[in-house]
Chain A
């Protein structure tokens, strides 16, 4: 018993103040890309050629944050003359098109649906479906339940049954073998229901794009309301998406 108390004192209070304050992330973190539109076209072309995800549109000078796995290759190739990854983790959007970014993103709160806020603003129950991928997205969703992020303080929880849920959170590129299970889970969620795509796999197949065993993106199967990009999205990106969209 004494050691339980001793440990409790040592651990102290660890919950972050987000969204009131933004916690600091280490300098090498790669969040929202800043883009220099005046970069030399040859530099942009070199970035596009080197990008393993083919996420760079040379003509429009944009990055598809839904395709991007935030590996930082373009930043290196361009020596920061075209792309610089910032420490901004607030990168969720309500439409796929907004992820094709020139470095700016619309304010998510203004784009979220008002009836969602009214219905789910005080209590939101999520059912997660892991549909392929590498399990990193699931891991960084799971940590939202740990004391630092403490998702439950906002009235948001992950639940065991789709019947108890308001929304499904989909991770992974939706493998052919998971499509039926995903659809059945979706149909078991009572209406109105929300669909959230977490991670580049769910958004467009991620590192596995082009494989005949995976879908080209969750949107080809279900209507998606909220996109949280990343590989995997930082837990703070997930938190930002959920809070700005529903609160």
Chain B
């Protein structure tokens, strides 16, 4: 019997080479792999010549993929295995197919399906839908609900959170996103090629390089475009700068939430210094405009190299000292420790990725498992911290900040020349697939690009790490005080727009 086959990260694959299984075989094999520790990387539907098909990419120690014809209704995989949960909800919303027996089937992003099929959720999309659905409810005399959002108190993205509480204690947090749905996946299939890099960069602004790289690598793989070493080094530096700025910002925000204001302010400012280093590289604080298929649009000339080196040397001791200040404060530890624990077992079941997964003892890191760009030549340490609480999530960030600084310093001194690219999009070959994975600062970002028989984009599937991790936040909140929510939320700092797409 044909089975899931191994595929490379960021390689060109002929669609004909992907096994097309009978649905039952597809389902049984996928469940087998995931029950034996495999994780879901991509699981999505697409229309091909009037037929709806599934494609799934799983990871064990390697990436494996297979497809099948999609039935209009099918026995849910989630009912046996949690990591399929959101993927099945997403497909029900996008294509109007119903996973029978799904334990909590509700909308993801509130939009009409792509095929004009009857809506699985019985929504009327001529009406305003958001907020209009049955929340998960807990009943009892002492139970009360706290509803927050979509407009939050701070300057942050919109989402709706509903807490079921008994007194101060949270029994359950239900998270409903979708408010930022911009139709990104549909746009990617329709727009002129010149808009693709801009769209990729703007799926989640704080993950500009992460998503930009996935897009660039997918196009490069399909169009057989070679990227020179200099560009690979610059992209690696840019991805690490993105990681630094975000981790530092989040550590500062965590201090703000436990009212330890000095490091909150220092890291607020230092985060800006790292954003400015991205601006130094490419003219934009978030790295927009840097990565394009074929390489980078800005080189690392001697002047930039020197400024970058000088600034990092100046910032490094400051970062180290503020980290010492945070992690030596007993007040900070008292609030971080024991707060919002996600066990290794739960994290494994949910399929958490990135720092959130590592803080629960899962050592998975795309940079080590499926390295791209310059990571194959770099030492990326393992950072698992088994305790799974806010403290662990802060510790993972601390370690990664220090490691990223070292990685960047080790790369600056390599005077490798780069051929700057124009940003022109190459033509794509017909009937091909490329799946790319990168370790962005929140974890595994993955793009899957399929072309049709004329080389046009048939389906462009995007997965932000937040897609895996939002349920981790809900899990962390169970049985904690509701006043610990901000602290837990910041320790994950998940993307709304990356999820909403």
CA distance A135 to B286 in the complex (A): 11
Do residues A11 and B318 form an inter-chain contact, with CB atoms below 8 A?
yes
Chain B residues positioned under 8 Å from A220 (CB to CB) = none
8 Å CB interface, B130-160 against A: 130, 150-151, 153-158
Q: How many A-B residue pairs have CB under 8 A?
A: 198
Q: Which of B202, B262, B321, B322 contacts A207 (CB 8 A)?
A: B202
8 Å CB interface, A101-156 against B: 128-143, 145-148
- Identity of the chain A residue whose Cβ is nearest the Cβ of B194 in the assembled complex: A52
Q: C-beta contact mask, A172-190 vs B, less than 8 Å → 1, else 0?
A: 1101111111000100000
Q: Which of A4, A129, A131, A173 contacts B325 (CB 8 A)?
A: A4
CA distance A72 to B421 in the complex (A): 13
Q: Indicate whether A241 reaches chain B with its CB closer than 8 angstroms.
A: no
Do residues A148 and B269 form an inter-chain contact, with CB atoms below 8 A?
yes
Binding stretch for chain A, among B37-45, B181-189, B226-234: B181-189
Do residues A185 and B497 form an inter-chain contact, with CB atoms below 8 A?
no
Q: Which of B110, B182, B280, B495 contacts A132 (CB 8 A)?
A: B182
Do residues A177 and B178 form an inter-chain contact, with CB atoms below 8 A?
yes
Do residues B183 and A147 form an inter-chain contact, with CB atoms below 8 A?
no
Interface of chain A, main secondary structure: mixed
Do residues A175 and B181 form an inter-chain contact, with CB atoms below 8 A?
yes
Q: Indicate whether A45 reaches chain B with its CB closer than 8 angstroms.
A: no
Chain B residues positioned under 8 Å from A129 (CB to CB) = 151
Q: Indicate whether B289 reaches chain A with its CB closer than 8 angstroms.
A: yes
Binding stretch for chain A, among B203-211, B379-387, B393-401, B433-441: B203-211
Do residues B289 and A71 form an inter-chain contact, with CB atoms below 8 A?
yes
Q: Which of A85, A137, A213, A231 contacts B182 (CB 8 A)?
A: A213
Q: Which of A28, A131, A213 contacts B279 (CB 8 A)?
A: A28
Do residues B328 and A3 form an inter-chain contact, with CB atoms below 8 A?
yes
CA distance A72 to B218 in the complex (A): 23
A95 to chain B, nearest CB (A): 25
CA distance A214 to B180 in the complex (A): 9
- Identity of the chain B residue whose Cβ is nearest the Cβ of A30 in the assembled complex: B283
Do residues B181 and A148 form an inter-chain contact, with CB atoms below 8 A?
no
Chain B residues positioned under 8 Å from A191 (CB to CB) = none
Do residues B130 and A177 form an inter-chain contact, with CB atoms below 8 A?
yes
From known contacts A26-B280, A139-B206, A207-B198, infer whether A7 and B266 are also in contact, taking CB-CB under 8 Å. yes
A48 to chain B, nearest CB (A): 11
Chain A residues positioned under 8 Å from B288 (CB to CB) = 69, 71, 136, 231
A178 to chain B, nearest CB (A): 5
CA distance A194 to B197 in the complex (A): 34
Do residues B269 and A175 form an inter-chain contact, with CB atoms below 8 A?
no
Nearest 8 pairs of A and B residues by beta carbon: A136-B205, A134-B205, A28-B283, A213-B183, A160-B153, A146-B268, A211-B183, A207-B202
